[in-house]
Structure 1
Amino acid sequence: MNIGYATGKEPLFGLNGQIFKQQTPNWTLIESLDWVQPMRDCPQEPDYHAEGDVWTHTRMVMEALLALPAFQTLDGREQSLLFHAALLHDVAKPQCTVIEDGKISSPRHAKVGEKVAREILWDCELPFREEVCALVRLHGLPLWIMDKPDPIRAAILSSWRVRNELIFLLAKADVLGRISATRDELMYRAELFRELCLDNHCFEQVAIWHNEHSRYRYFWSEETYPVEVFDDTAFEVIVLAGIAGSGKDTYYAKHYAHLPAVSLDNIRKELKIKPDDRDGQGKVARLAYERAKEFCRRKQSFVWNSTNLTQDLRARLFNALRVYDPKFTIVYLETSQENIFSRRKEDIKTSILERMIQQLDMPLVGEGHEVKWVK
C-alpha cells in the first residue's frame, strides 16, 4: 500500500510539509494516494450519510476538523495527529461495507481501519503512528460509550492509548462532517463522553494508577475503577514480540543474555519442525509452556521469545503463568518493512510476512506491567 514516501525516510509523517502544513492540506498529493479511490467508490447509508460516498464524508470531516476552534489551539504535532486520523478514520470502509435488505453498513471498520492505517504508516515514527492508529480505532467511542457495559472502563483504557480530548475532537468533526438527521443526537453523545472523562480525570491526561500492578490488574480483571493492589510479583517474565525479522534474537543477546530463554524458533529446530508445519506447532507450544512453567515454579526470571503478534496469544500465555505471580514485561521490537522482507526472504515467504503485519495487535499499556516499544 503506497503513501508516496520512500520507506523509512519520514521520521514524522505529515510534519514534513508534503501532506499537511500550517493547517493547509495538500489535496493534490492526498488524492493521488492509492487508497483514496476505493473510498470514492464506497457508498454509505443515506439515513446517516446523505452527503454520499466515504471520500466525500472524509473531506468534510477534515474540513470540519480544521475549522474547530479547539483544533486551532493545539500544537503542530497534535494537529497533524488529528489530521491524519481524520484522513484515515474510514479507510477500511470499502472492505467492510455490506448491503443487506437495502441498508448499507460497515461493521468493524474502525477495528480493521486501525490495522490498515498501521500498514500505510508503518515506516513512520512509531509513537506518532500508534496515536494515529488509536484515533482511527477509537473515533466512534464518544458516540457509543454509554452503550458499553462499563463506560468508565472504556474511557480509562482509551486514555492509555491516546488523549481522550483528541478522540473527542475527532468524533466531533466526524459528526459535523456529515449530512444526517441524527447529528444533534450524536453531538450530545459526544458531549456526554467529554463529561464522563472529565469526571474521571482522564480527558486531558492519562488515567493515573497506584502502581503498575494495579493498572495491570484492572486491564485483565473485571474490577471497578480505581484499583489499588499490593505488588506481590516475585520474578519477571520478559515477553519479546515482533514480526519475524524484527531483531528479537539480537535484542535478547544484547540485553537479556544473562537470563534463560524459551524460544519457539529454537524448539522448532530441536524437534525439526518447519515454521509452516501447522500440525507441528502444537507440539512446539506444549513444550514451550512446560519449560516456562518450570521456570515459574522456581521463581526464575526468563525470556519468552516468539512473534507474539496478537493480544489473544499474549493473553493465553499470561493467563497460564499469572498464578505464579510474575511481573510481565512486554518488549515489542520493530524495523522497516524493507528490513523485514530482506532479512527473512530465505526462510519465510513474503506473503506470510505480509500476513504477520496485517495480523499485528500492538501491545498496549496495561497489557503487561511494563510495555516497551523499540524501533
Structure 2
Amino acid sequence: MSTGRATGKEPNFGLNGQVFQQQQVNWALIESFDWIEPLRTCPQEPEHHGEGDVWTHTRMVIEALLGLPAFQELAEREQSLLFHAALLHDVAKPQCTIIENGKISSPRHAKIGEKVAREILWDCEIGFREEACALVRQHGLPLWIMDKPDPIRAAILASWRVRNELTYLLAKADVLGRISTTCDELMYRADLFQELCLDNHCFEKEATWFNAHSRYRYFWSEETYPVEIFDDTAFEVIILSGIAGSGKDTFYAKNYAHLPVVSLDEIRRELKIRPDDRDGQGKVAQVAYERAKEFCRRKKSFVWNSTNLTSELRARLHNALRVYNPRFKIVYLETSQENIFSRRKEDIKSSVLTRMIGQLDMPLVGEGHEVRWVRS
C-alpha cells in the first residue's frame, strides 16, 4: 500500500514528489492509488455531509485548505504535511462506516485512520509521517475538545504530537469542505480550540516543561499543568520497541551491550516457545517481569527488549516497574517493510508480521522521560 521510498532515510516528505508541488495537486496520480476507490463509494450522513461520498468531501477539504491564507504562508514542508493529512484524514471511513436506524456514522475512523495512514506513508521520513498521522488522528479534536473531561489536558497532550496550529487549520478546512447547516457552529468550536491553545501557550509550539520528569509524570498521572517535580530517579530502564525484524538485537549490541538485558526472544528460546505460540506467551512474560523487577529492586539499569508495539503493552510495563522510580527511555526502531519480511521469513509468518504493522501504536512524547525514533 505504501508508495514511498524503500529505506526511509531520504527526506521524503510525502507519497510521491509529483503528487503535490508548489500548491498544485496532481489529481490524476492520486486517483490511481488503490485506496481511493473505496472513498468514492462510501456514503456519509447527509445532515453533516450534504456533498455526498467521502472522496467528494476529501477533494473539497483539500481545495478549502489550499485556499486558506494561513496555509499559503506556511513553509513547503508544512504545506505538504497538511496536504497529506487532508488527503488521508477520512481514509478509514469505508471500513468504519455503519448504518443504524437510517443514520450513517463512522465511529473510530480517526483512530483507525492513523494506522492506515501510517501504512500508506510507511517509507516517508519518519518525523514527517508521524506528524501527518497525528493530524489524521486529531483532525476532529478542535471541533469536540470542549466536550472532553479536561480540555486543557487534551490540548497539551495533542501539542506533543504536532503543532496545534496545524491541527486547527486542518479542522477549518474539514468544516469548509462540506455542505451542512452546522458549519457555523463547527467553525465557532474550532475558534474556541484556538483560543484555548493560545491561553495555555501550546498553539504554535509544544507546551513547555520544568524538566523531562515533570512531563513524564503529567502523562502518567492527573497532575495539573504546569507541573514542577524534582527528578529523583536513580537508574534507567531502556525499552526497545519495534516490529520483529526491525533490528532491536543489533541496536542493543551496538549501543547497550554493557547493560544487562531482559529479552523476550531469548526467554522464548530458553523455554523453547515459538513467537507465534500464543498459549506460551504468558509464561514468557511472567519470567521477563520477574527478571525486570529483580533489576529494579537492585536499582540497576537494564534493557527491556521486546516488540512493545501497543500503548497498552507499554503501559502495562510502566505500571509494573514505575513503583521502583526508574527513568524510562523508549527507543523505537524501524526499517522498511521489505527488510522486516525478509529478515524474519524463516521463523515468523508474513501474516503475523502484517498484523504487527497494523497493531503499532507509536511511542509518544511523555510515555518515557526520553523517547527516540530510529529508522535504519
Give the TM-score normalised by structure 2. 0.98
- Asked if the contact 2:363–2:371 (Cα under 8 Å) also holds between the matched residues in 1, the reply is yes
In the TM superposition, what is the alpha-carbon distance from 1:12 to its structure 2 partner? 1.4
Give, as a single letter, the amino acid of the residue that structure 1 aligns with 2:214.
S
| 1:154 is the counterpart of 2:154 | yes
Match of 1:108 in 2: 108
Q: In 1, distance between residues paired with 2:105 and 2:283?
A: 42
Deviations 1:64-120 (A, max 9, x none): 000000000000000000000000000000000000000000000000000000000
Measured at CA, do residues 74 and 197 of structure 1 come closer, stay the same or move farther in structure 2, by a change above 3 Å?
same
Match of 1:77 in 2: 77
Alignment of 1:47-66 (within 5 A): 47-66=47-66
Alignment of 1:19-168 (within 5 A): 19-168=19-168
- Asked if the contact 1:15–1:77 (Cα under 8 Å) also holds between the matched residues in 2, the reply is no
Q: In 1, distance between residues paired with 2:33 and 2:88?
A: 12
- For the residue of structure 1 that corresponds to 2:274, the secondary structure is coil
Match of 1:287 in 2: 287
- Asked if the contact 1:14–1:21 (Cα under 8 Å) also holds between the matched residues in 2, the reply is no
Q: In 2, distance between residues paired with 1:116 and 1:15?
A: 14
Match of 2:337 in 1: 337
- Asked if the contact 1:40–1:55 (Cα under 8 Å) also holds between the matched residues in 2, the reply is yes
Match of 1:7 in 2: 6
Give, as a single letter, the amino acid of the residue that structure 2 aligns with 1:57.
H
Give, as a single letter, the amino acid of the residue that structure 2 aligns with 1:25.
V
Match of 1:365 in 2: 365
Match of 1:272 in 2: 272
In the TM superposition, what is the alpha-carbon distance from 1:7 to its structure 2 partner? 3.1
Measured at CA, do residues 271 and 165 of structure 1 come closer, stay the same or move farther in structure 2, by a change above 3 Å?
same
Q: In 1, distance between residues paired with 2:77 and 2:342?
A: 32
- Asked if the contact 2:2–2:119 (Cα under 8 Å) also holds between the matched residues in 1, the reply is no
Give, as a single letter, the amino acid of the residue that structure 1 aligns with 2:156.
I
- For the residue of structure 2 that corresponds to 1:156, the secondary structure is helix
- For the residue of structure 2 that corresponds to 1:332, the secondary structure is strand
Match of 1:325 in 2: 325
Match of 1:257 in 2: 257
Match of 2:177 in 1: 177
- Asked if the contact 1:15–1:21 (Cα under 8 Å) also holds between the matched residues in 2, the reply is no
Q: In 1, distance between residues paired with 2:5 and 2:333?
A: 21
Match of 1:201 in 2: 201
- For the residue of structure 1 that corresponds to 2:246, the secondary structure is coil
In the TM superposition, what is the alpha-carbon distance from 1:14 to its structure 2 partner? 3.2
- For the residue of structure 2 that corresponds to 1:70, the secondary structure is helix
Give, as a single letter, the amino acid of the residue that structure 1 aligns with 2:88.
L
* Runs of at least 4 residues off by over 2 Å: 5-11, 13-17
- Asked if the contact 2:262–2:305 (Cα under 8 Å) also holds between the matched residues in 1, the reply is yes
Give, as a single letter, the amino acid of the residue that structure 1 aligns with 2:22.
Q
Give, as a single letter, the amino acid of the residue that structure 2 aligns with 1:159.
S
Match of 1:214 in 2: 214
In the TM superposition, what is the alpha-carbon distance from 1:278 to its structure 2 partner? 1.3
* RMSD after superposition: 1.0
Q: In 2, distance between residues paired with 1:332 and 1:17?
A: 27
- Asked if the contact 1:62–1:83 (Cα under 8 Å) also holds between the matched residues in 2, the reply is yes
In the TM superposition, what is the alpha-carbon distance from 1:235 to its structure 2 partner? 0.1
Deviations 1:332-364 (A, max 9, x none): 000000000000001000000000000000000
Q: In 2, distance between residues paired with 1:325 and 1:251?
A: 25
Q: In 2, distance between residues paired with 1:249 and 1:98?
A: 43
In the TM superposition, what is the alpha-carbon distance from 1:2 to its structure 2 partner? 4.6
In the TM superposition, what is the alpha-carbon distance from 1:126 to its structure 2 partner? 0.3
- Asked if the contact 1:15–1:80 (Cα under 8 Å) also holds between the matched residues in 2, the reply is no
Match of 1:233 in 2: 233
Deviations 1:178-203 (A, max 9, x none): 00000000000000000000000000
Q: In 2, distance between residues paired with 1:42 and 1:246?
A: 35
* Identity level (%): 82
Q: In 2, distance between residues paired with 1:367 and 1:2?
A: 28
Give the TM-score normalised by structure 1. 0.98
Q: In 2, distance between residues paired with 1:2 and 1:156?
A: 31
